[in-house]
Structure 1
Amino acid sequence: MLNMNIFFNTANNRSFMFEFRIHFTLLIMFLSGWPLNGGAEDLYHPTVVFAYACDLEKQGDHVRAATEFGRYVAFVRNTPDQESFGNRLEEAMFRLAVNLSQAKEFNAALLAFSDLGATFPKTRYLSQALLRMGYIYEMNGSLEEAQSRYQQLIDLGLDAELSSLASLRLAWLALDQPDMEQRARQHLRTASHARHQEHAHVMSQTIESLSRLPYKDPWLAGVSSAIIPGAGHWYLERPRDAAFALLSNGLLLLGTQQAFEQRISGLGVALAIIELGWYSGTVFSAVSLTHKYNRQLRHDHLNKIGMFLNPDSQAIGLTMAWQY
């Protein structure tokens, strides 16, 4: 069974969520001019507010739409007769979170999604909420949290298309990590919805192309630097680093030799220790830079085929961004 405490981990602390609701309600009332005396003016009737919020959402005014949905939620949540207002609290809470995310208020959106889950643990918007939360975490660079939400969406199995979309996102995230091609292939196998087959095929081709990139060999870079300091950097097409490594190691080695020839043993030992550390650092640098070179090569290749996700239309696509 899916652990909802993991899904709504920002809502685990009940006292925190209670505090959030109180402050959120008061803030919405203050910003929107809601009459605190409970006046019954038509302008402030919840059904009117809900309809107005929907209109703002259609117009793309997500900041004001979020405010109006927040007004509706704040009033209906605190009235004992919710049925008289159409009982659309669940929908309003979801659309509030959606509009907050579209307004780039990501932290507030995550809290709103968590509040929705805490209020309606079996919400009909669960799959969509997981997808959107994953997308928000992904945009914020919290990839582990994003992967967790996408995987939970797949495990739920409530919506085949959204599950397939989540599999594509997981595959793409895996591709951006070294040696994760096999895991990406596994995710692509579960992206079986007809709408996503073309994109899955393009991603499969991308995986195959990764193995054909002109990677540099870290072992060769290290050995060549061990034989001739700087040779590994030359192999990586870094002539300045190669020249500096060769010159610095050569001067230290020459200084060590002359110190011993002139019977200045203390200086010779000191220079020998420095040269040994410098020489080891040159070899390590060549190996480290090779790994960095390969990662950058892979990253640049993937950036040529950028994957985008549009949760609003549940659309997914590949954008070509070839750079010359």
Structure 2
Amino acid sequence: MNQTYKLPVVVLSLTVLLVIVLLPCQARAGHTGNDKKQFEFAEQLFTDKDFNRAITEYKRFIFLFPDNNLCEKSYYRICESYFKAERWEKAIESLEHFESKFPHSSMLNDAVYLKGMSEKNLKRYDEAISSFKSIIASCSEPLRNKAFYQVALIYVDTEEWDKAREYFLKVSDQNTLYPSAWLFSSGLENIGNLPHKSPALAGTFAAIIPGAGHLYTERPQDALIAFLLNGAFIWAAVELFNDDNYVAGGVVTFFELGWYSGNIYSAVSSAHKYNRRVKREFIQNLKDRCNISYFFDNDNSRHFLMVSMKF
């Protein structure tokens, strides 16, 4: 009787043991297939430029497979997705997290570069320069040249022309960015020769003859309006005083003083606007001639600046 019951117990025990042994193997096999599909799906969204959904899928991959070797790349892809979606603040936040989590990553320098680009886009120039200079201090030649170039562009935006030329000239003549850097550097040598209108002179002209300051700053329509308006008020005030209508003459004179001082202020402002416009058009012309664009190589996880020249 005991032997009759022993056999089923032994079979049941062996079956349970077999299930315990085989189940984790099957789970691991399914786990491996799922992680590959999950990552490939996120990558496809990234390639399709559906960056917000890609971020969600990369985060899902990290949550489901925290020990997978592709987690590092997933964290980096999240950073890139925020950057490409032009969510600069989130890009910086995620890049700082990547730097702290993977301090020895092969993608670390690219992450710092991307952080600098995000800071530059937010016009946080001091922080961007700091990021780019850390690349200059620690990176190999290709990335260093891109960092030199970006620092130079920041100094162009802040109108620090000498510093901009200094960093453009640091770009290696063996690098693809060199022709563009050379063009910028050469162009900035001539920035002091641009047409310039003196604000003081514009104000003086406007004080002598209303409208003359605007004519000096090449705004003939404003010059005509200022001349006619001030002339009309001055003529009206003179006529009223000649007719002994002092109260009305005083009121007209009071308003004319406002128009007259406004004419001087506007002429000075016009000179400043003229100078800013000339500089802006000159710099934009340089940028258009260089035609700088940003490119990312998905296969190698590397960032590139593409430059085409116009002569």
Specify the TM-score bucket, using the shorter chain as the normaliser. Answer: 0.7 to 0.9
5+ residue gaps in structure 1?
Answer: 1-37
Matched, 1:154 2:133: yes
Matched, 1:132 2:114: yes
Alpha-carbon contact 1:310-1:316 (below 8 Å) kept: yes
- Using structure 2 for the length normalisation, give the TM-score: 0.74
Q: SS where residue 218 of structure 2 aligns?
A: coil
Alpha-carbon contact 1:304-1:321 (below 8 Å) kept: no
Partner residue in 2 for 1:305 = 286
Distance 1:59 1:247, change over 3 A: closer
Within the candidate set 97, 109, 114, 1:115 is matched to: 97
Shift of 1:287: 1.5
Alpha-carbon contact 2:132-2:148 (below 8 Å) kept: no
Within the candidate set 72, 81, 84, 1:90 is matched to: 72
Alpha-carbon contact 1:101-1:109 (below 8 Å) kept: yes
Alpha-carbon contact 1:191-1:197 (below 8 Å) kept: yes
Tell me how far apart the structure 2 counterparts of residues 146 and 93 of structure 1 sit (CA, whole Å).
25
Alpha-carbon contact 1:167-1:188 (below 8 Å) kept: yes
- Within-5 A mapping of 1:312-323: 312=296, 313-319=302-308
Distance 1:218 1:49, change over 3 A: same
Shift of 1:175: 1.9
Alpha-carbon contact 1:131-1:311 (below 8 Å) kept: no
- Using structure 1 for the length normalisation, give the TM-score: 0.71
Alpha-carbon contact 2:149-2:167 (below 8 Å) kept: yes
Tell me how far apart the structure 1 counterparts of residues 156 and 187 of structure 2 sit (CA, whole Å).
9
Larger Rg: 2
5+ residue gaps in structure 2?
Answer: 1-26, 297-301
Shift of 1:148: 1.6
Alpha-carbon contact 1:150-1:167 (below 8 Å) kept: no
Distance 1:229 1:62, change over 3 A: same
Tell me how far apart the structure 1 counterparts of residues 310 and 260 of structure 2 sit (CA, whole Å).
41
Tell me how far apart the structure 2 counterparts of residues 269 and 303 of structure 1 sit (CA, whole Å).
50
Percent of matched pairs sharing the same residue? 27
Shift of 1:288: 0.8
Partner residue in 1 for 2:39 = 50
Tell me how far apart the structure 2 counterparts of residues 122 and 150 of structure 1 sit (CA, whole Å).
22
Partner residue in 2 for 1:22 = none
Distance 1:120 1:42, change over 3 A: closer
Q: CA RMSD in A?
A: 3.2
Within the candidate set 153, 168, 173, 1:188 is matched to: 168
Shift of 1:147: 4.6
Q: Which amino acid aligns with 2:138?
A: L
Q: Which amino acid aligns with 2:58?
A: F
Give the aligned length.
274
